[in-house]
Structure 1
Amino acid sequence: MKSIYQFFKELLREIFDVTSTLFRIMIPIIIVIKVVEELGGVVILSEWLSPIMESVGLPKEMGLVWATTILTNIYAGLIILINSDAPLTVAQASVLGSMMLLAHSLPIEGAIAKKAGVSWLATLSVRVGGSLVLAWLLNLSYQYGDLLNYPATVLWQPEVSGDSSYLGWAIEQLKSFAVIFIVISALLLLLKVLKILGVEKLMAILLRPFLRLLGISKDATNLTIIGITLGLSFGGGLLINEAKKGHISARDVFTAIMLLNLLHSLIEDTLLIMLIGADFYTIFWGRLVFSVLVIALISNVIKRMNPRTCERYFYRDVSQS
């Protein structure tokens, strides 16, 4: 009886630690983003991005789509895209979709990565830089092979909230926080049960060769898997909790977060982008292979760098903070 009490006492403490950390990061940033939107910041960013969009074979109007996605989320970007009258080919939808998958919700997700000890320089470089490199490679491949050069079919019309007031916006944010709290609670309970049953060790053994390639230790295995499948907010929040306790080294946290920067919400986000007519093989396998190669390269470079240089520019130990 006492052990059961202790189990749930520890669980509730972990739930509070993880969710309170996430909410302290997210709430002020969400408010700042709303202010930036109201002041026209998204439109200004889209004007800066328009020439870049044309350089990867996309209409300049897609600058607004990507700017919205970068500052807010994929759903908001899709609403802008579908309400624009710019027709896309499957190749263009795949290029744009790949950019949206790699670089979205940067203020919030970058702040979560920062809390885990990963610098803004590292996060923005790999996400914005990675999305541009992948888009350039895809556009080059499609043009060279004349591939997927036919109209994309949009399969979904996103719902736009009828209440555009500040109160309606605030209610939507509260709903999102409630969902995050429920999901985090369920994940932490699941992780504790898996540890008791020994499944956690089995997963670490099975994934060890793959994770070794990326330089991720077995201690970060389950949390990385959660991030890849469910999202950086969830996986990152759990990684912050473990990093603060000193259970995972700063370099392991860095490598895991860098992987999650490029590869998270693998199922949900892929399905969303498919609904605008993007090619599945491009946005799923292309993203997966690209992410693994980039992180394997980064991991090997980091191993050879001076630790002080890494701590100055890329990551820091948060176990004492």
Structure 2
Amino acid sequence: MHKYISLLFKGLWQEIVSVTWTLFKIMIPMIIVIKLIEEFGGIVLLSQWLTPVMSLVGLPSEMGLVWATTLITNIYAGLLVFMSAEVDLTVAQVSILGTLMLIAHGLPIEVAIAKKAGVGIVMTLAIRIGGSLLMAWILHHIYQAGDFLNYPAKSAWSNMAASDPSYMEWAIDQVKSLVMIFAIIAVLITFLRILKLLGIEKLMGIILKPVLALLGISRDATNLTVVGITLGLSFGGGLLINEAKQGHISPRDIFVSIMLLNLLHSLIEDTLLILLIGADFTTIFWGRIAFSITVISLLVLVVNRIDEATCRKYFYQKLSD
């Protein structure tokens, strides 16, 4: 019995280290690259390119810098820029901006994770940027046509000047984030092991089977996709990569799961963050869910009509080591 428990924990530890190392090999170089892009003015340049796009979705040009920061770094950094901007927005506008930020953020790292899972860069960027702009454009026209949510947004945070931490403070913050990611992954993998032992994983598969069948996601990818939807693409993607390497999930299932996670991830934390700046809950939560399911359902219809060889050529590839 003691030997069995020892082997169980040893296997669990090895899986935790494997998943974490897979993510860290992607994230650590990208964190450094992102910092260099930021230092050399890449974010400001991107914001200038995005200025005309903002008008298409009913946002002032100043919001281009907010989204550019979010695209390259993360939602937290984007919110910091937003809070330092002296621009009054309506609830409709904040909801549109929030939609852009929720769907398309942290692209250098998350695109790399998706690529590691076998989903091409072009496909990921198309669904992330294209999907966010499409939903924002639809919302803009709906709000404009019905004059919905056309009143001032109230942010839970006051305007503040963005701080510029030293390189040492920045490095310490990154190490803290990586340690936190390791801890979360350890908890997630342990929790998933417990679910398997208790048979709850099978029960979840049965409950979610109708929705998963609609989206073409197999039962094997169910729990891992749910992890990504609730906690974030980095966590769900890392687990999916690990399962795929072991041959437990097919490339087509990985593709559909990752494409869903590109649109719908970190549903708890990120939604709460955007709510704090005055966005409409129905829009950024239920609206995002409905939009994501609709888009991925249409994508699945297309993919199911294409043979496997063509899919492997244009949509998903063999996992890299």
Q: Is the 8 A contact 1:78 1:158 kept in 2?
A: no
Give me the CA root mean square deviation: 1.4
Q: Name the structure 2 match of 1:138.
A: 139
Cα distance change on mapping 1:15 and 1:270 into 2, 3 Å: same
Q: Is the 8 A contact 2:267 2:285 kept in 1?
A: yes
Are 1:82 and 2:83 matched, yes or no? yes
Cα deviation, 1:232-283, whole Å, max 9, x if unaligned, reads 1111000000011111000000000111111111011111101111110000
Q: Percent identity?
A: 62
Aligned residues: 320
Per the alignment, in what secondary structure is the counterpart of residue 248 of structure 1?
A: coil
Q: Name the structure 1 match of 2:166.
A: 165
Please identify runs of 4+ aligned residues in structure 1 that moved more than 6 A. Answer: 158-163
Q: Name the structure 2 match of 1:296.
A: 297
Q: Name the structure 2 match of 1:221.
A: 222
Superposition pairs of residues 18-97 of structure 1, within 5 angstroms: 18-97=19-98
How far off is 1:310 after superposition?
A: 1.6
How far off is 1:43 after superposition?
A: 0.3
How far off is 1:163 after superposition?
A: 6.9
Structure 1 gap segments, 5+ residues each: none
Q: Is the 8 A contact 2:86 2:159 kept in 1?
A: no
What amino acid is the match of 2:239?
A: L
Tell me whether 309-318 or 121-130 shows the greater mean CA deviation.
309-318
Cα distance change on mapping 1:162 and 1:82 into 2, 3 Å: closer
Question: For the residues of structure 2 that align with 1:76 and 1:26, how far apart are their CA atoms?
Answer: 17
Q: Is the 8 A contact 2:83 2:160 kept in 1?
A: no
Superposition pairs of residues 90-129 of structure 1, within 5 angstroms: 90-129=91-130
Q: Is the 8 A contact 2:71 2:107 kept in 1?
A: yes
Q: Name the structure 2 match of 1:314.
A: 315
Question: For the residues of structure 2 that align with 1:161 and 1:101, how far apart are their CA atoms?
Answer: 21
| TM-score where L is the length of structure 2 | 0.97
Q: Name the structure 1 match of 2:206.
A: 205
Q: Is the 8 A contact 1:102 1:127 kept in 2?
A: yes
Cα distance change on mapping 1:82 and 1:133 into 2, 3 Å: same
Question: For the residues of structure 2 that align with 1:2 and 1:289, how far apart are their CA atoms?
Answer: 49
Q: Is the 8 A contact 2:67 2:101 kept in 1?
A: yes
Tell me whether 123-132 or 1-10 shows the greater mean CA deviation.
1-10
Cα distance change on mapping 1:154 and 1:314 into 2, 3 Å: same
Cα deviation, 1:22-60, whole Å, max 9, x if unaligned, reads 000000011001000000000000000000001110001
Question: For the residues of structure 1 that align with 2:39 and 2:74, how far apart are their CA atoms?
Answer: 16
Q: Name the structure 2 match of 1:284.
A: 285
Cα distance change on mapping 1:162 and 1:127 into 2, 3 Å: closer
Question: For the residues of structure 2 that align with 1:147 and 1:167, how far apart are their CA atoms?
Answer: 46
Per the alignment, in what secondary structure is the counterpart of residue 268 of structure 2?
A: helix
Q: Name the structure 2 match of 1:245.
A: 246
Question: For the residues of structure 2 that align with 1:163 and 1:81, how far apart are their CA atoms?
Answer: 15
How far off is 1:316 after superposition?
A: 1.3
Q: Name the structure 2 match of 1:193.
A: 194
Tell me whether 158-167 or 171-180 shows the greater mean CA deviation.
158-167
